[in-house]
Each structure stands twice: as C-alpha cells, then as structure tokens.
Structure 1
Amino acid sequence: MGLHAAAHRGDVAEIERLAAADARRLEARDARGRTPLHVAAFAGQREAIRALARAGADLGALDDDRYDAVTIAAVADDAPTLRVLLSLGASAGLVTSRYDGTALIAAAHLGHDGIVRQLIAAGAPLDHVNNLHWTAVIEAIVLGDGGPRHQATLRALVDAGADVCLADREGRRPLELAVARGYSNMAAVVEAGSTRCR
C-alpha cells in the first residue's frame, strides 16, 4: 500500500501528499494489521514518524500482535525512535501484546536497559502485572540471562521504586527467583530493595 511503503522508505513528501489526499490512509492496515506508523517504527524511520504524527496518525494504535509503536521500538532496542515517539506524545503505559504486558515489561525481558530507563522517565507503570502474573522485575530475572544488561535493567527498576515484593503466580518473589537461577548479582540488587517485604 502506498502510505505503508512511503513510511517504510521514510519518504516524508509522499507521506504528506498521501495523507493530505485521504486522511483515512493513516489508519489503513496491512496484512499484519499494521498502520503506516507501525511500519515506520519497525523501519526506524523517525522523520516518517514525525510526518505521520503531524498528519494525525494514532500513536497508540495496536497491530495484530497488539504492539503499539512504543513497544515496537522498545523490543528493537531502538532508543532514538523511542525518544521521538515519546516526544510526540506516545504513551509509555499502554497495555500491549498477547500477554497484556507493557513496553517496559518487554524491554526488561530483553535486558534493554537504556530503553527501560527511557520508559521509566516517561512514566511507564513500574508494577504492571501481565497475564503470566509477571512484572518487569520478574521478567528481567526469569527471562533474563543474569548478565550485565539484565543486571542494569533490574537496577534501574529497583532504583525507580519498582515493587520487589510482588510475587509470581506460585508465590515466588524476585529474590527467590534470582537465587534459584544462581544470579547472585541480581539477587543482591533485589535484596537491597526488599527490606519492606514481609
């Protein structure tokens, strides 16, 4: 489709021309349920994102995987694109994905510590619980590799005030989960923030 292709290429003039001719194109969907904004986010086409936003594109639209543009940038570890989206007013707090998660949970899972810090600064919900009954803190531990980036992710969450007392569906708290995986550095980060746990 024309506007999707222009968004992928970053062709601002074509985006402006097509959007002016028919604003409904801004929310047109491709075979994967993606709007031109989703495509621009996937392609890291920041000027295209700005042009689409100026034309009135829905910054919170969800694709067929229930990803918004913010979550797409977060998963891709694309800090510049995320910065543009947030500066345009895109929300850091939408419930996204088939897991009813957030961009913050997705970034924590992947150990994208810089993205996590950006999302925290933008007001992302620190303690959102997804449908697996996991928070960003738990995902950083359970789905992380215990390495430097997951440690930095966990530290950013704890320093921001994320609740390290929240347990998973089986009642296991982050400290127990980190110890069970042998992630001693992560356990130390959690322990420092867990003095208020009963």
Structure 2
Amino acid sequence: MPADETLLKAASQGDASAVRDALTSGADTETRDGRRRTPLLLASAADHVEAAKVLVAAGANPDAQDDQRASAFLVTGVTGSVAMLHALLPAKPDLTLTNRYGGVALIPACERGHVDYVREVLKTGINVDHVNDLGWTALLEAVILGDGSTAYQQIVQLLITAGADLDLPDAEGVTPLQNALRKDHHALATLLRTAGAH
C-alpha cells in the first residue's frame, strides 16, 4: 500500500504509531481521500487524539477542508471533544473558518449542548457573535435548537459571560429572548432577562 494510503488508514483508525511510520516513509500530511479528507480531519472526526498529535507535530494543516467544508478544527465543534480541541490548538487553527452552514466551530457546539467544549473554545477568542448563513449566532442556536435543559442553560450563561450580544436577532428579526419565550424555555428566558436582554 502506498505511504499516503497507509497514512489515511492509520489516521482514520487512530493508530498513532502507524501514522508516525507512514510519515517516516514519506507520506504527505496533506494527502486526501475520495471525499477530500486529510489524515488530520479523519483523526479529528473519530476523536483519535494521539494520532492527531503526531500529525500536528508533523505540521499538518488544521484548516484543510473536505468536500463538505469540514476541517479538523471545525469538526471538533460537532464532536465536542475538548481533548481534540487542545491537540489542535498548537497548530494555530483559523478561528474564523466556516463550515457548510457558514458557522464557526462554536455554533454547532452550542446547538449540540457540548458545555465543556463551549467553555474551552470561548477561551480561544473565537467570535461569540458570528452569524451563520441561517442568520443565527451561537446564542440563537442554543436557544432555538436546544431543548432548554441544564446543558443549554449552562451554555447560554457561558455565552452571556463571554459578552455575547444578547439582542442580536435572527434573520426574521426575532431576538434570543423572544425565541426562548416562543419555545417555552423559561429558564433560558430568565437567564437572558437577568443579563439585560430585551
């Protein structure tokens, strides 16, 4: 098997020592599979942290995007892996890179209720008020797509503490507080009101 294929397979399986061996054999860190996924993206999507660390140390690009516009860094917002987030930060990922919905990594993490990840990614200085192609911020995603449970209450509080614009409306002009009331997310509405939202 050619070194590049070996590297892609090893990264997808999380075999860090095979990743190292493939790189030593001359495999290209930026080789792509049929869906344009790099070894680092494959490792990140499957949360193979040790394999990712080997690739990052070899200079792999955390911003290389596949045919769905996913990158190794962006996919951490979907998986919510704090360990992978920290493994990729030394590679200095582009925090402004957007996925196929026009969102930064923070947004899917808020939508999916990844509290610990949201807490950590906010420390990077990522834009808390980034608006995606749907016209939604991370706060709007947490309110509209979340279920109002404790996890989403914690995320909304983290976004408030991070200085999110509480009155930035969605594409229809509806604010996070108005959306929370529409969905009967009373705890979220209370949090937003207490923080001064309108």
RMSD: 1.6
**Distance between the aligned counterparts of 1:7 and 1:43, measured in 2?**
9
Q: Percent identity?
A: 37
Give the counterpart of 1:16 among 20, 32, 41: 20
Question: TM-score under structure 1 normalisation?
Answer: 0.91
**How far did residue 194 of structure 1 move?**
2.8
**How far did residue 3 of structure 1 move?**
0.6
**Distance between the aligned counterparts of 1:13 and 1:111, measured in 2?**
33
Give the counterpart of 1:104 among 100, 106, 113: 106
Contact 2:77 2:105 in 1 (8 A): yes
Give the counterpart of 2:86 among 58, 83, 88: 83
**Distance between the aligned counterparts of 1:13 and 1:112, measured in 2?**
30
**How far did residue 137 of structure 1 move?**
0.4
Contact 1:127 1:163 in 2 (8 A): yes
How far does the alpha carbon of each residue in 1:75-115 deviate from its partner, in whole angstroms, 9 at most, with x for none?
112222222222x2343623322111011001011111111
**Distance between the aligned counterparts of 1:150 and 1:90, measured in 2?**
28
The letter for the 2-side match of 1:133 is: G
Q: Which runs of 5+ in 2 are unaligned?
A: none
**Distance between the aligned counterparts of 1:13 and 1:114, measured in 2?**
29
Q: Which runs of 5+ in 1 are unaligned?
A: none
**Distance between the aligned counterparts of 2:139 and 2:167, measured in 1?**
10
**Distance between the aligned counterparts of 2:58 and 2:83, measured in 1?**
21
Note if 1:2 corresponds to 2:19: no
**How far did residue 21 of structure 1 move?**
3.4
How far does the alpha carbon of each residue in 1:31-67 deviate from its partner, in whole angstroms, 9 at most, with x for none?
2221000111122211111111111111111122211
Question: TM-score under structure 2 normalisation?
Answer: 0.91
How far does the alpha carbon of each residue in 1:129-170 deviate from its partner, in whole angstroms, 9 at most, with x for none?
011110000000111111111111111101111111101111
The residue aligned with 2:53 is 50
* 1:1-198 map, 5 Å: 1-23=5-27, 25-86=28-89, 88-91=90-93, 93-194=95-196
Q: How many residues align?
A: 194
**Distance between the aligned counterparts of 2:141 and 2:56, measured in 1?**
32
Contact 2:106 2:121 in 1 (8 A): yes
